[in-house]
A and B are shown apart, each in its own frame.
Chain A
């Protein structure tokens, strides 16, 4: 087949000086308008379909049921349409992708719902007095504006603080043993740490009650609660710390050892400072866990109405216990003073957890964030 060089189709376009045709870049794998249109079309059509039919089929389900019906119908419609356009193989593939995506993003729904509900109910009865007064002499029937949770806040701070002091050094030491010393028992210790992270919080509370209060004849105290909380914090701190230490490059250890440094100095002066931000994250995550634990407090710090500054003697209130006890006093009904106080406390609690979480995320955003 000969080529006709005078064919205008073969000539260079007038703008290119050296005769080369400029081609626009292609992106074969990117999302096409076509796909987006099918997706939206299926969504809208299934929505209208369910809207029309819903009342007839499901007489009692509310918004939740509607949502479920819509999603199922959407998936069906989408699958049918894609099957027509691209064939059954691609249809299954796209259906799975969309389905999985809906489930994953759907986790946003309960999370947002929880945050919004707690914040909304909690802000209702929030007063400045909440942070300044305790519940001395306040009976459950008095309105929610009476009294406050100052004693709970102080107790939480002290108990979590003590738990930190106990569990962080031990946790980091265990992580150092597992990752730096790498002794004979490393695998065993790792198993124990994993086993310990599965201990239910109520069991930790029972244990401290059995050993500290019954065996050693102490009374309820914030310190006992701190002991129980450190049992729950320790595995979190140890595991996260070990992950962080693992990320420190081996070359640094080698450099330090090659200079003649003993092992402990290498760990103390080189490895730990390099991993510092990650270790701080580990501590903050442990704190976030401890501050929200309720069950072990029932049998260790017991709770009280009055302010107790001394964590080493006498029952002490703390935020989660305050919420739990106020909920029980409120009798499970909406709008009672107990209900309102419980939600105000819950609001404070979730704010603390959120703040700690955000701080940990920001800290971990240095080069040692593994996930």
Chain B
């Protein structure tokens, strides 16, 4: 007798697909197909399917421990850095599987940037050099470095605060400023997608608000996928939400995907409703 719980079928709300899709030809569209993940022999994610449209913000919500961070690290090939990590399925960026045999991890990571939960600017470099560090590390060139620094810091909402101390050490800024510096650094290599793993969880409300403004400003050029525990934040900034859940002893799965308004006001699955109304999580 089959004692497995019934397979979760991810729900993509097709009636709102038109609202979800970006203008045709915009780069930065990501699709995860049948993604599963293991740490050693322990399966942590099972058969995830998620379409992240270009130019939009997709929020990944759900209780802790259901694999949202693992999933997001699969999207920029950071998952494989852990000893014993394994995955199945494919991740398409603009139609091409980033795990394909001819794709370099380094190229993928340049096109799909990441901002981490704990701000990690390079402490021995100045603010100016921190922003440009991605270029140096990937041997990319910039025609006008000063302009690029100003543009990236501006988009990250940090320019006015540091324009007079660009040579100060990157580690000397406050937590919120450091995180915005990390965003500027990630933007400097012109990624198509920006992954954000709970970027505001360690920050004060003012910095959080500033970063949310940044997300709003840059999302047209950079697809955003953000993991967040803060449901009000998800409602504020995302167009689409994916709700992750996990049962004890089982790998994590996506329970429901849909436009943000629908997920919060009229979720299709009872578990989604329980979560967004605060009954667990």
Contact = CB atoms under 8 A, between A and B. Distances in A.
B116 A251 contact: yes
Given A251-B116, A254-B116, A269-B136, A259 B122 contact: no
B110, B111, B113, B123: residue with the most chain A Cβ atoms closer than 10 Å: B123
A50 interface: no
Contacts of B123: 252, 274
A98 to B, nearest CB: 44
Interface in B216-233: none
Contacts of A269: 133, 136-137
B122 A274 contact: yes
User: Binding site of A, secondary structure by majority: helix, strand, loop or mixed?
Assistant: helix
Contact of B109 (A251, A258, A273): A258
Contact of B110 (A249, A255, A260): A260
A91 B264 CA distance: 68
Contacts of B133: 256, 259, 269-270
A29 interface: no
B134 A259 contact: yes
Interface stretch (B59-67, B90-98, B182-190): B182-190
Nearest to A265: B137
Given A273-B124, A274-B122, A258 B137 contact: no
Given A254-B78, A255-B182, A262 B120 contact: no
A194 interface: no
A257 B138 contact: no
A262 B133 CA distance: 13
Q: How large is the interface on B (under 10, 10 to 19, 20 to 34, 35 or more residues)?
A: 20 to 34
A257 B78 contact: yes
B136 A254 contact: no
Nearest to A367: B123
B122 A258 contact: no
B186 A249 contact: no
A262 B122 contact: no
A257 B120 CA distance: 12
A261 B120 contact: no
Contacts of B108: 260
Contacts, number: 73
B112 to A, nearest CB: 9
A251, A261, A276: residue with the most chain B Cβ atoms closer than 10 Å: A261
Contact of A259 (B118, B124, B185): B185
Given A251-B118, A269-B137, A258 B113 contact: yes
Interface residues of A, number: 19
Contacts of B81: 254, 257
Given A255-B122, A274-B122, A274-B123, A261 B137 contact: yes
A260 B189 contact: yes
Contacts of A256: 122, 133, 137
B274 interface: no
Nearest to B119: A251
A200 to B, nearest CB: 37
A316 interface: no
Contacts of B110: 259-260
Contacts of B116: 251, 254-255, 258
Given A252-B120, A274-B124, A258 B138 contact: no
Contacts of B121: 255
Contacts of A254: 78, 81, 116, 120
Interface string A198-238: 00000000000000000000000000000000000000000
B122 A260 contact: no
Given A251-B116, A251-B118, A257 B109 contact: yes
A266 interface: yes
Interface string A172-202: 0000000000000000000000000000000
A252 B170 CA distance: 12
Contacts of A255: 116, 120-122, 182, 185
A266 B122 CA distance: 11
Nearest to B78: A258
B107 interface: yes
Interface of B: 76, 78, 81, 106-111, 113-114, 116, 118, 120-124, 133-134, 136-139, 182, 185-186, 189
Given A252-B120, A260-B189, 5 more contacts: A252-B122, A254-B120, A257-B81, A260-B106, A269-B136
18 contacts: A249-B120, A252-B122, A254-B120, A255-B116, A255-B120, A255-B185, A259-B110, A259-B113, A259-B134, A259-B186, A259-B189, A260-B106, A260-B134, A261-B106, A261-B137, A265-B136, A266-B137, A274-B122
Task: Pick the 8 closest A-B CB pairs, nearest first.
Answer: A260-B110, A261-B137, A259-B134, A251-B120, A258-B114, A260-B109, A255-B120, A260-B138
